[in-house]
């Protein structure tokens, strides 16, 4: 633990990222208490109002308070990021590890399939999937997760293959350890670190992807607030009511930035190669 | 170079076939899952059911699905990607019309990202954990974290709306004829034709979208270069070179950097692929007549042949590109080259 | 500072980048539009220019000025009228039973390549239209016969009288196409990307996704020759960019700008916002056949709970007029005696309890085809919830929405409608005839045999006063049945450069600009 604090102090960027995430996380998580208005409350008289003491980020085209919507929208957007990174990494890691351990034809088949999925332009695949499943935030999450899994499968498999050959694993085999035991105790723990790093970085990426889908209209549905969808609607008002697009866009930027900073920091922590000799 | 690259190419070509089949199958299934009737969209709302049925049979949409797929694959073998439901033109023709624009944008964005990203990565590695590093890394990460469409809109408002320095969309000035199409890339074609006003106009129009697209990849490139450089700087030969009294920057630039760049080549291959379809959102914002806008419109119009054609072409290009990058990597990396 | 240490190579690169930048920025942004060209900015590329295929007003911007038709819309007092006069046709007669229409063509009309416009051309154009059986053919009776009696005379024989027939001949679908183009082996593909008409302009180039250029047709035989030599349609998908280009003079006309942006433009001296009342209406479909809205009381509750004023003033910023009934003001047959719907939440609540309450939320499906639909959906949800009717919103892709509408999988939806020809038939038979249930027009799946009878009778009569009486009955009945909730008819607005003159809007031809009459 104290090693962790030591590393943290040496890496101000990661500290910055963590602080930002903490602030954002608290604001968003406690949106119910922090937000001044109901994010879905319409007020046609007050539409497109400029930022003021009453409405810190102004109001949108039906008079809803943008600050409240940004806070609640964070729940959607960050939720997507966590879900995607978590699910894709866990599922992908499991599949990849087993593929590496089992080897042979099953391994070949799995990798072939992963290659094909990786070759399809992912944005097109995600858009088509989300359109086919029906536009909703959940389906968008599902689509992004499915498309990210192959990365983890490949990563985990690569790690498994190299670890499998290592001496201590061979030793465990000769001692008669079962496959599942080997996987759980040896392979997974050692393969974990690059996967964890990738997953942390993916949180930011997933937030951006969800925002892109929201931008096209395939993400969260009205009246639910979501950052990407807000940027999309706001661009019609960009020239006169710039705050409408800029505020959720900044939220996306700041959150993804923080996630990436933390991810980089985690990578530096776990990756022995980047430590100075 | 020994002939050991043949099996590599051979294997890749086989996987290419797999990929094309897989991609077309996946997009076929997905596009037919999307609820909606393209025949109805073409006919318009007020058309009678007879008209809709007539259009549907004209488009071959009333055949059973497996038959439609086999028919499509058969045509694919002849290089025919079908006819777009929306524009009534061969899909291949549509894609050929739009692809060069996206390719040009992606290339320029990649060049910008590389030219700016490499120095950024180098500075970051050399001044590791000092202020320069922190600033450079923040910039790189900011690039990766920015939604491209948001940045693009902002740039248009500032550089066109407020300052009037750069045009607000399109590829060249309205009224100018595009250069004779040799490659479809205006910057190259105009230079070949010696048409400098068009060249300048194309460059002006290119800047903002390329900066938007490139800013994101600046981060990716800088990160990759930084991490490769750090690896190299930890190597023994660097310490040896310094011990011999070589100036630090010479060591960095002349010795470490080229070695660091080799693994980065593979990232470039991936980046180009990313850029190609990442252009989707950027193109809509800038009115850039490329594949991005085309594919978004096609998805919305349920234009199956167009969407499938796009997926097949881009996947094909992606695999070929990665193959070329791999070959290049093998050429460059003396360890692989030598052993074979 | 360590930043200062740079090798020669790096300095060279920096210099090159700066030089390139300077080169690029020198000369500033593009110049304003040339004086003899009208530049129109659109959000999307036309899909196809084939008059027998295109049903999209977006395509008509290019095709309408490039082709001519037998009839054209009149201009009365500088305003577009829904009445028609002859364009290619000099005169016409009808047989007493209204089944045979005979047209005599004007002399000396030529297509852009010099070929004469004769009766054969008219016959072939219509036969192709009917044979193609695509969207535009729907406005015409499928069993119509066309004969070229001689070079200048065309005869149309209908099986049943069709009152609006003369008006349909001014449609984009009724464009007369050069037979030489129709006879090409690749006619379909060619016509989708080129024009072959006799109108004042002809297409000379189309850079996909960028711009279409049309130039003056030297063989145009109309009495008034166009002032402007060229007109260019430029594709600018982003609405903010379109507006900026208009303000900077890079566009002369900017189409499809959101209402809020147009309001802001009114303050800019370099631009003027043209506004005209139009016949494009926005209304709510209420599913009369499936679900809770089968109950007429509940439908009335919906109609009573809507905040019409908020929608017109807030969302449309006053650029719309509330409707009273299905036929909008400006179309003959409009009934000014119908009561104006008003928001009355108490009455709505009473009706809801009378209907027995609402057990599960109503499904409101919409798409963002029209940017106003989403705020309307949100407002409808808020209004209905306040009256005790919970509503669930579902935004769908346009194609999916249409599928659902066609099958009646919705409770409420939002729609726009504009007439293809200037006849109340467009707002009545399409919306209420039980034959046209579904996407064809009757999207509320309304069915009333008495109304059907009135509508079909009115379609065959030629006596306008009798028809007005029948349509009055129809309107009263459907308002009593609350088949739809009528919201507003929108003003048509476009942004024009301050120096652009001569634009006359015709409510039948949205997004078509009378370029031949315009000048700068």
- The predicted-structure confidence for A174-203, as pLDDT tens digits, reads as follows 776 666 666 566 656 666 777 887 888 888
Vertex C348 angle, CA C342 and C353, to 5°: 170
Strands C484-497 and C79-86: unpaired
Distance of alpha carbon A123 from alpha carbon A143, whole angstroms: 10
Partners of C243 on chain A (C-beta within 8 Å) are 239
Q: Chains meeting C at 3+ CB pairs closer than 8 A?
A: A, B
Residue C84 in this model has a pLDDT that exceeds 70: yes
Chain B from 205 to 244: CB within 8 A of any A CB = 223, 227, 230-231, 234
Q: Supply C40's token pair.
A: 């129109």
Q: Are C348 and C304 in contact (CB under 8 A)?
A: yes
Q: Is the pLDDT of residue C83 over 70?
A: yes
Quick check: C158 and C139 in contact, CB under 8 A?
Answer: no
Task: Report chain B's terminal Cα–Cα distance, integer Å.
Answer: 8
The complex scores an ipTM of 0.72
In this complex, how many residue pairs, one in chain A and one in chain B, have their CB atoms less than 8 Å apart? 136
Say what percent of chain C tops pLDDT 90.
30
Contacts of A218 in chain C (CB under 8 A): 397
Residue A207 within a domain: yes
Bridge partners of residue C148, in order along the sequence: C154
Give pLDDT, residue C474: 92
Rounded CA separation B287/C240 (Å): 11
Nearest residue in C to B303, CA atom:
C399
- Chain B residues with CB under 8 Å of C29 CB are 160, 164-168, 204
Interface of B with C in 2-41 (CB under 8 A): 34-38, 40-41
Between CA C322 and CA B140 the distance in angstroms is 53
pLDDT in tens, C202-253: 999 888 888 899 999 988 887 778 888 888 999 888 888 888 889 888 899 9
> Does residue A45 form part of some domain?
no
Residue A248 lies in a domain: yes
Q: Touching check for A172 and chain B: CB below 8 Å?
A: no
3-state SS record for chain A: CHHHHHHHHHCHHHHHHHHHHHHHHHHHHCHHHHCCCCCCCCCHHHCCCCCCCCCCCCECCCCCEHHHHHHHHHHHHHHHHHHHHHHHHHHHHHHHHHHHHHCHHHHHHHHHHHHHHHHCCHHHHHHHHHHHHCCCHHHHHHHHHHHHHHHHHHHHHHHHHHHHCCHHHHHHHHCCCCHHHHHHHHHHHHHHHHHHHHHHHHHHHHHHHHHHHHHHCCCCCCCCCCHHHHHHHHHHHCCCCCHHHHHHHHHHHHHHHHHHHHHHHHHHHHCHHHCCC
> Chain A, 4-33: which have a CB under 8 Å from a chain B CB?
10-13
| Nearest chain C CA: its distance from B62 CA (Å) | 16
pLDDT at C387 over 70: yes
Over residues C322-330, mean pLDDT: 89
Asked if the Cβ–Cβ distance from A236 to C371 is below 8 Å, we say: yes
| CB-based contact A121 B18, cutoff 8 Å | no
Tokens at residue C132, please? Answer: 């193609």
Helix (H, G, I), strand (E, B) or coil at B336: helix
Top residue of B133, B143, B150, B310 to mutate, by most chain A CBs within 10 Å, is B150
**Does the pLDDT at position C4 exceed 50?**
no
Domains identified in chain A, total number: 1
A73 found inside a domain:
yes
Nearest CA to C254 out of B186, A212, A239 is that of: A239
Would an 8 Å CB–CB cutoff place C463 in contact with chain A? no
Residue C28: closest CA among chain B residues belongs to which residue?
Answer: B165
Q: What is the pLDDT of residue A184?
A: 63
Number of CB atoms found within 10 A of residue B322's CB: 17
Cβ distance A79 to A170 under 8 Å? no
Work out the minimum CA distance from A135 to partner chain C, whole angstroms. Answer: 7
The per-residue b/e assignment along C358-387, b for 16 or more CB within 10 angstroms, e otherwise, is beebbbbbbbbebbbbbbbbbbbbbbbeeb
Contact A223 C393 (CB under 8 A): yes
Rounded-to-integer distance, Cα B40 and Cα C399, Å:
9
Does position C56 have pLDDT exceeding 90, yes or no?
no
Residue A272's pLDDT is 56
Indicate the range of C54-58, C153-157, C442-446 predicted with least confidence: C54-58
C204 touches C214 (CB < 8 A):
yes
Yes or no: say if B241 and B254 are a contact pair by the CB < 8 Å rule: no
DSSP state at residue C314:
I
| A chain contacts of residue B296, beta-carbon cutoff 8 Å | 127, 216
Contacts of B333 (CB under 8 A, 6+ apart): B262
Q: Does residue C488 have a pLDDT over 90?
A: yes
What does the alpha-carbon distance between residue C295 and residue C508 come to, in Å, rounded to a whole number? 35
Query: Is C208–B168 a contact, with Cβ atoms under 8 angstroms apart?
Result: no
> Any residues with CB less than 8 A from the CB of C103 and at least 6 apart, and which?
C70, C89, C91, C92, C122, C153, C154, C155, C156
Interface contact C435, partner B, CB < 8 A: no
CB contact under 8 A, B26 and A256: no
Cβ of C17 and B115 within 8 Å?
yes
Pick from A227, A42, A218: nearest CA to C394: A218
- Measure in Å the smallest separation between the Cα of B253 and chain C Cα atoms: 9
Cα(A128)–Cα(A136) distance, rounded to whole angstroms? Answer: 13
Question: Which of A264, A274, A277 shows the shortest C-beta gap to B137?
Answer: A264
Residue A220: closest CA among chain C residues belongs to which residue?
C395
Sign of CA dihedral B324, B325, B331, B335: negative
Using the Cβ of C17 and the Cβ atoms of chain A, whether some distance falls under 8 Å is answered with no
- Asked whether residue A127 is assigned to any structural domain, the reply reads yes
How many Cβ atoms sit within 10 Å of the Cβ of residue B111? 12
Chains touching B, CB cut-off 8 Å, 3+ pairs: A, C
Cβ within 8 Å of B, A 227-266: 228, 231, 235, 238-239, 242, 245-246, 249, 252-253, 255-257, 259-261, 264
Residue A277, in any domain of the structure: no
What residues of chain B lie within 8 A of the CB of A126, using their CB?
A: none
pTM of the full structure: 0.78
pLDDT band for position C20 (cuts 50, 70, 90) = low
Report CB contact under 8 Å: C241, B119.
no
Give the integer Cα–Cα distance in Å for B143 and B218.
Answer: 6
The two three-digit tokens of residue B261, written as one number: 């760049």
Please report the number of interchain residue pairs, chain A to chain C, with beta-carbon separation below 8 angstroms: 68
* Total residue length of chain A: 277
Q: Is A59 domain-assigned? A: no
pLDDT in the model for residue C19: 53
Residues in chain B, pLDDT under 70: 1-5, 31, 33-36, 44-47, 174-175, 266-270, 272-274, 276-278, 300, 333-340
Chain C stretch 38-97, residues whose beta carbon is closer than 8 A to a beta carbon of chain B: 39, 44, 47-48, 50, 53, 55-56
- The pLDDT of residue A273 is 52
pLDDT at C13: 47
Is A247 a domain residue? yes
Residue numbers in C near B173 (CB within 8 A): 30-31
C78–chain A nearest CA distance, Å: 33
Residue C519, number of CB atoms within 10 A of its CB: 14
Contact B144 A13 (CB under 8 A): no
Below-50 pLDDT ranges, chain A? 274-277
Using one digit for the tens of pLDDT, what is the confidence trace for C35-47? 888 999 998 888 8
Contact B170, B287 (CB under 8 A): yes
Dihedral of alpha carbons C51, C57, C58, C63, sign: positive
Q: Which of A62, A237, A241 has the CB atom closest to C379's CB atom?
A: A62
Q: Which domain holds residue A15?
A: 11-30+65-272
| Angle, vertex CA B137, rays to CA B136 and CA B141, nearest 5 | 120
Q: Do B26 and A117 touch (CB under 8 A)?
A: yes
| Interchain contact C187–B (C-beta under 8 A) | no
* CATH number reported for the structural domain that contains residue A122 in this entry: 1.10.3720.10
pLDDT at C30: 46
- CB atoms B97 and C208 under 8 Å: yes
CB spacing of B277 vs A123 below 8 angstroms: yes
Give the least confident one: B244-248, C327-331, C443-447: B244-248
The whole-angstrom separation of Cα B73 and Cα B80 is: 9
């Amino acid at each position: 633990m104290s090693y962790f604090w030591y590393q943290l102090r040496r890496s101000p960027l990661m500290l910055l990222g963590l602080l930002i995430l903490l602030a954002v996380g608290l604001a968003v998580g406690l949106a119910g208490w922090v937000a001044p208005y109901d994010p879905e409350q319409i007020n046609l008289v007050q539409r497109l109002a400029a930022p003021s003491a009453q409405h810190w980020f102004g109001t949108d085209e039906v008079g809803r308070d943008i600050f409240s919507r940004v806070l609640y929208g964070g729940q959607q957007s960050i939720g997507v990021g966590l879900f995607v990174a978590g699910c894709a990494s866990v599922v992908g890691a499991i599949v990849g590890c087993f593929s590496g351990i089992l080897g042979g034809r099953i391994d070949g088949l799995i990798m072939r399939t992963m290659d094909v999925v990786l070759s399809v332009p992912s944005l097109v695949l995600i858009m088509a999937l989300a359109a086919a499943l029906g536009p909703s935030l959940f389906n968008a999450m599902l689509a992004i997760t499915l498309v990210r899994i192959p990365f983890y499968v490949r990563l985990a498999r690569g790690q498994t293959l190299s670890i499998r050959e290592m001496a201590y694993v061979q030793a465990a085999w000769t001692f008669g350890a079962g496959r599942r035991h080997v996987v759980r105790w040896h392979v997974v723990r050692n393969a974990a670190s690059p996967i964890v790093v990738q997953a942390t970085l993916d949180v930011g990426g997933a937030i951006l992807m969800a925002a892109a889908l929201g931008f096209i209209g395939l993400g969260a549905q009205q009246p639910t607030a979501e950052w990407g969808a807000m940027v999309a609607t706001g661009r019609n008002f960009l020239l006169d009511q710039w705050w409408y697009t800029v505020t959720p866009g900044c939220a996306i930027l700041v959150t993804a930035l923080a996630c990436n900073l933390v991810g980089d920091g985690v990578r530096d922590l776990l990756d022995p190669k980047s430590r100075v000799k | 170079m020994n002939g050991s690259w043949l099996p590599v190419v051979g294997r890749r070509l086989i996987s290419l076939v797999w990929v094309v089949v897989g991609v077309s199958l996946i997009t076929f299934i997905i596009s037919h899952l999307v609820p909606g009737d393209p025949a109805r969209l073409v006919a318009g709302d007020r058309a009678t059911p007879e008209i809709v049925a007539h259009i549907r049979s004209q488009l071959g949409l009333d055949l059973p699905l497996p038959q439609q797929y086999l028919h499509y694959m058969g045509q694919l073998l002849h290089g025919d990607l079908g006819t777009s439901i929306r524009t009534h033109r061969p899909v291949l023709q549509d894609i050929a019309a739009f692809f060069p624009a996206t390719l040009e944008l992606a290339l320029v964005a990649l060049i910008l990202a590389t030219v700016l990203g490499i120095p950024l990565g180098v500075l970051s590695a050399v001044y590791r954990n000092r202020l320069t590093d922190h600033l450079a890394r923040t910039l790189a990460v900011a690039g990766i974290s920015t939604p491209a469409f948001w940045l693009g809109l902002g740039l248009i408002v500032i550089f066109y709306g407020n300052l009037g320095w750069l045009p607000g969309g399109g590829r060249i000035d309205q009224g100018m004829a595009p250069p004779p199409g040799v490659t479809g890339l205006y910057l190259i074609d105009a230079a070949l034709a010696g048409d400098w006003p068009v060249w300048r106009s194309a460059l002006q129009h290119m800047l903002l979208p390329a900066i938007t697209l490139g800013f994101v990849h600046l981060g990716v490139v800088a990160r990759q270069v930084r991490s490769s450089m750090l690896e190299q700087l930890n190597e023994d030969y660097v310490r040896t070179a310094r011990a011999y009294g070589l100036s630090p920057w010479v060591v960095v630039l002349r010795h470490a950097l080229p070695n660091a760049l080799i693994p980065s080549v593979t990232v470039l291959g991936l980046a180009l692929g990313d850029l190609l379809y990442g252009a989707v959102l950027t193109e809509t914002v800038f009115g850039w007549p490329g594949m991005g806008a085309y594919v978004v419109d096609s998805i919305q119009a349920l234009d199956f042949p167009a969407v499938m054609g796009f997926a097949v072409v881009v996947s094909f290009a992606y695999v070929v590109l990665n193959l070329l990058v791999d070959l290049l990597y093998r050429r460059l990396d003396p360890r692989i080259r030598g052993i074979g | 500072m360590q930043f200062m240490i740079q090798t020669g190579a790096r300095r060279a690169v920096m210099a090159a980048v700066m030089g390139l930048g300077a080169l690029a920025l020198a000369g500033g942004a593009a110049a304003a539009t040339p004086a003899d060209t009208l530049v129109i900015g659109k959000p999307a590329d036309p899909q196809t220019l084939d008059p027998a295929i295109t049903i999209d007003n977006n395509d008509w911007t290019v095709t309408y000025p490039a082709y001519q038709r037998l009839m054209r819309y009149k201009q009365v007092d500088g305003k577009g009228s829904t009445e028609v006069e002859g364009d290619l046709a000099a005169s016409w007669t009808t047989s007493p039973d209204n089944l045979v229409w005979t047209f005599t063509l004007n002399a000396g009309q030529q297509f852009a390549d010099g070929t004469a416009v004769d009766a054969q051309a008219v016959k072939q154009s219509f036969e192709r239209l009917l044979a193609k059986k695509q969207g535009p053919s729907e406005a015409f009776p499928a069993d119509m016969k066309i004969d070229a009696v001689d070079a200048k005379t065309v005869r149309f024989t209908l099986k049943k009288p069709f009152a609006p027939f003369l008006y349909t001949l001014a449609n984009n679908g009724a464009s007369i196409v050069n037979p030489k183009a129709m006879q090409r082996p690749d006619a379909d593909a060619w016509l989708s990307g080129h024009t072959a008409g006799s109108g004042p302009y002809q297409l000379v180039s189309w850079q996909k996704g960028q711009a279409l250029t049309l130039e003056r047709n030297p063989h145009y035989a109309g009495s008034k020759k166009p002032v402007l030599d060229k007109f260019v349609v430029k594709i600018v998908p982003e609405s903010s960019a379109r507006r900026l280009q208009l303000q900077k003079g890079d566009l002369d006309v900017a189409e499809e700008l959101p209402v809020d942006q147009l309001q802001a433009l009114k303050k800019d001296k370099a631009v003027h916002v043209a506004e005209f009342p139009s016949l494009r209406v926005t209304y709510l479909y209420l599913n009369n056949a499936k679900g809770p809205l089968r109950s007429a009381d509940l439908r009335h509750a919906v109609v009573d709970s809507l905040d019409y004023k908020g929608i017109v003033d807030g969302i449309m910023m006053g650029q719309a007029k509330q409707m009273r009934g299905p036929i909008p003001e400006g179309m003959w047959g409009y009934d000014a005696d119908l009561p104006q719907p008003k928001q009355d939440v108490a009455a709505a609540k009473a009706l809801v309890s009378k209907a027995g309450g609402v057990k599960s939320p109503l499904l409101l499906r919409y798409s963002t085809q029209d940017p106003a639909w989403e705020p309307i959906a949100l407002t409808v949800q808020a209004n209905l919830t306040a009256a005790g009717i919970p509503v669930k919103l579902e935004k769908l892709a346009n194609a999916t929405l249409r599928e659902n509408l066609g099958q009646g999988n919705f409770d409420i939806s939002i729609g726009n409608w504009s007439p293809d020809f200037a006849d109340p038939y467009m707002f009545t038979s399409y919306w209420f005839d039980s034959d046209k249930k579904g996407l064809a027009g009757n999207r509320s799946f309304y069915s009333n045999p008495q109304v059907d009878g009135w509508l079909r009778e009115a379609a065959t009569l030629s006596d306008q006063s009798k028809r007005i009486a029948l349509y009055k009955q129809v309107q009263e009945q459907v308002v009593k049945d609350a088949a739809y909730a009528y919201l507003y008819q929108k003003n048509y607005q476009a942004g024009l450069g301050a120096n652009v003159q001569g634009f006359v809007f015709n409510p039948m031809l949205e997004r078509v600009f009378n370029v031949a009459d315009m000048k700068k």
